[in-house]
Structure 1
Amino acid sequence: MEARKSTDYITFVIVVSAFAVLTLHTNNCFWFYSGKEDYWFSANIIECVFYFAVPLFFMVSGITLMDFFDRYSMKRFFARRFMKTMLPFLVWSLVALAIDLYTGKRLWSNISIKSVYQGLTGNGFVSIYWFFYSLFILYLCMPLYAAVEKSKRRLVFSYLVIAAFVFNIFLPFLKKVFNSDLNVMFSVSALAGFLIWPLLGWLLHNYEFKRWHKALIHTAGLIGLALHVVGTYHLSHKAGYVVGTFKGYENVPSVLYATSVFVFLKDAGRWVMEQERLANFVKVVGRYAFEIYLLQFILLDAATRIPEIDRNSLVYRLGAPLVMIPVIIAFTWCLRKIPVVRRIVP
């Protein structure tokens, strides 16, 4: 299978993922299930359908950063990562702390250097910023992956992804589903946690799949989605609370489904980016995709303080992202006009 180097579609993937992650957060009522909520049936479907958001974000990171040695040094790589992600993370986490102090969620008497440090290092200020910590680990490991000789990447990455899927994901999944006490003998530490996604994304980007390959991938993806939806509903409905057996980004349903979605968006994105008007729209939104991840906490928090908003309603859960995204874009556009401030909305 011959690789195709075009990356135009990646902007489309990023935009779709940004919308999906915001939808996951407006659908946050999914997590507050006690066995009685009528809304939870739709909440479970929305949660599972948009679950691809974060895996695709990490896949794209693997694609765009894997060849960084061709562009700049490792020192420059980390300097750029600091300015583009670490600095915004630190500043907006402190902004969130300031908002909490202003609204009375936190008390000044409880604030100290230690508490601020604990909050910044332990995801204590913005709960949805948990993905930053995995992203920073990805950055720390990226020089190792990028140093693999280009002619050997397909072989090495394919081996690592398959080994990690079998030992880190598939066997633990079977153990959990069948409630087995058998040990999983090995674990592939080189791709522990989220680290499978950047290499999987690079492989999916650099392979051109035939129709029958795509048919298999999408069939597996539908199976993964069905397992996620039906399995979570059945176990949670029976238990009276959310059961995570079929959930988790490093889990079989997620890997199968996210792989299928990426391959689909890869094809769809290439078509979209060939349509001038659609491509221009995607490119404009794409320039603010990171800020959709970064700043949504402000609007999500504001929504909790407006009693007229029913956050369990289907209208809010599916409609709010369509309102919040333009607001975030407009807010970011204004901030980028301020010389110093624009550094925290890169």
Structure 2
Amino acid sequence: MTAPATTRASRPRLVYLDVLNICAIPLVIFLHVRVAYWNADGSPGWWFENVVSGLGVIAVPIFFMNSGVTLVGFIERSTVGTFYLKRFKKVVVPYLIWSQLYLLFGVLIGARTDVGVGTVLSTVVDGSSAGATLWYLEAAIGVYIVLPVVSLAVLALTRDPERRDRRLLLLLGISVLAAIVLPAVRRILPATLPSMEIPLGGYLVFVLAGGELLHRGSPLAPIFTDYLTLGTLCTAAAVFVAVRQARPERLPERAQRMISSLAGMTFGIYLVHLMVIETADLWLAPRTPSSDVPMTIGVWAVSLAIVAVLRLIPPVRRWVLP
């Protein structure tokens, strides 16, 4: 599978994607500093965290939608081999490195004592067992493995302009059915078609949504609060379109450069922020809901500073914090 020979033109930077990344990362941090959310006692602190979490849950879907904008059509300008090589450097290598860094970090803070050769080797393929936030990279790797096939499918579907929208809507509809509707039904009726699997499920639904169509306490609570739910998809879509329609590319060039610089450090902030939180917990008094916002701001600022300094080192900038 190769792309047709074409002359590569530099693609203009999409400022709204930078803005979305910058806005999403504090929401991720908030989800990891909240303390009352897990105990649904109806207290004011729980209500505050519950409401903000309803917005915060869109952060990771926004990341996937941004990937969809930039990557779904890659087959028209690059080869599959080049695509996989770039994803390997930008996602797989950092995943392998950070899984071991989080394992070492756990030993240093006394959170892990079970480290041996077996643990080190198992962490190579189970990085999220060492650093919980690495689950996002695991999910992204799965999406990127299948993305060339999706890119070819989208290319084929869009060759007929008159039927383009309907065909893409069908593709996204199947993905919504696989990733959101069927799991929601199975929460209520677990025996619903237990052996049926639809390959277009998972976080691919957000990639498809971003890549194409958006260019235009109860046991059932997870149906409304998990990542792969219709509510999350709709909320993420609304925020995505709102930021895009705000047209941040009209900002002064200096502001755009600052936005671009901050957005370039978002991935690094995501990788390092959990270490900052766990280190702070060793020294700070037990946190309460009233500390959520200042803690989120502080963790973001410290993580940003760490990433900015470490990225001055060329090998770190290339392999560890790309």
Give the TM-score taking structure 2 as reference length: 0.84
From 204, 212, 235, the counterpart of 1:257: 235
From 299, 321, 325, the counterpart of 2:300: 325
- Structure 2 distance, partners of 1:167, 1:94, is 34
Aligned to 1:118: 122
- Gaps of at least 5 residues in structure 1 are 208-231, 237-241
Matched-pair contact (CA < 8 Å) for 1:55–1:258? yes
From 145, 148, 152, the counterpart of 1:143: 148
Alpha-carbon shift at residue 192 of structure 1 (Å):
1.4
Aligned to 2:173: 162
Pairs within 5 Å for 1:148-297: 148=153, 150=155, 152-153=157-158, 154=164, 155-166=166-177, 168-170=179-181, 172-174=183-185, 176=187, 179-180=188-189, 183=192, 189-207=198-216, 232=217, 235=218, 243-268=221-246, 270=247, 272-276=248-252, 277-297=254-274
Pairs within 5 Å for 1:42-57: 42-57=48-63
Aligned to 2:90: 84
- Structure 2 distance, partners of 1:196, 1:186, is 21
Matched-pair contact (CA < 8 Å) for 1:118–1:124? no
Alpha-carbon shift at residue 159 of structure 1 (Å):
0.9
Pairs within 5 Å for 1:298-309: 298-308=275-285
Deviating beyond 6 angstroms after TM superposition, the runs of 4 or more aligned structure 1 residues are none
Check 1:265–1:163 CA distance in 2 against 1; reply closer, same or farther (3 A cut).
same
Matched-pair contact (CA < 8 Å) for 2:214–2:237? no
Matched-pair contact (CA < 8 Å) for 2:203–2:228? yes
Alpha-carbon shift at residue 307 of structure 1 (Å):
3.0
Matched-pair contact (CA < 8 Å) for 1:173–1:252? no
Check 1:79–1:251 CA distance in 2 against 1; reply closer, same or farther (3 A cut).
same
Check 1:166–1:106 CA distance in 2 against 1; reply closer, same or farther (3 A cut).
closer
Alpha-carbon shift at residue 293 of structure 1 (Å):
1.1
- Structure 1 distance, partners of 2:68, 2:212, is 9
Alpha-carbon shift at residue 182 of structure 1 (Å):
6.8
Deviations 1:13-37 (A, max 9, x none): 1111222212222225422x15375
Matched-pair contact (CA < 8 Å) for 1:56–1:262? yes
Name the amino acid aligned to 1:135: A
How many residues were matched structurally? 302
Alpha-carbon shift at residue 187 of structure 1 (Å):
5.5
Deviations 1:64-113 (A, max 9, x none): 11232344322221121111121112212211111111222222xx3233
Secondary structure at 1:189's aligned position in 2?
coil
Question: What is the RMSD of the two structures over their aligned residues, measured on CA atoms?
Answer: 2.6
Matched-pair contact (CA < 8 Å) for 2:178–2:202? no
2:315 is the alignment partner of 1:337: no
Aligned to 1:131: 136
Matched-pair contact (CA < 8 Å) for 2:35–2:289? no
- Structure 1 distance, partners of 2:194, 2:234, is 23
Matched-pair contact (CA < 8 Å) for 2:169–2:213? no
Matched-pair contact (CA < 8 Å) for 1:170–1:252? yes
Aligned to 1:312: 288
- Structure 2 distance, partners of 1:8, 1:104, is 42
Alpha-carbon shift at residue 46 of structure 1 (Å):
1.1
State, as a whole percentage, how many aligned pairs show the same letter: 23
Name the amino acid aligned to 2:142: I
Name the amino acid aligned to 1:157: L
- Structure 2 distance, partners of 1:166, 1:70, is 28
Check 1:151–1:164 CA distance in 2 against 1; reply closer, same or farther (3 A cut).
closer
Matched-pair contact (CA < 8 Å) for 2:168–2:213? no
Alpha-carbon shift at residue 290 of structure 1 (Å):
0.9
Matched-pair contact (CA < 8 Å) for 1:27–1:43? yes
Check 1:166–1:138 CA distance in 2 against 1; reply closer, same or farther (3 A cut).
closer
- Structure 2 distance, partners of 1:146, 1:167, is 18
Alpha-carbon shift at residue 175 of structure 1 (Å):
5.7
Alpha-carbon shift at residue 285 of structure 1 (Å):
0.9
Matched-pair contact (CA < 8 Å) for 1:24–1:50? yes
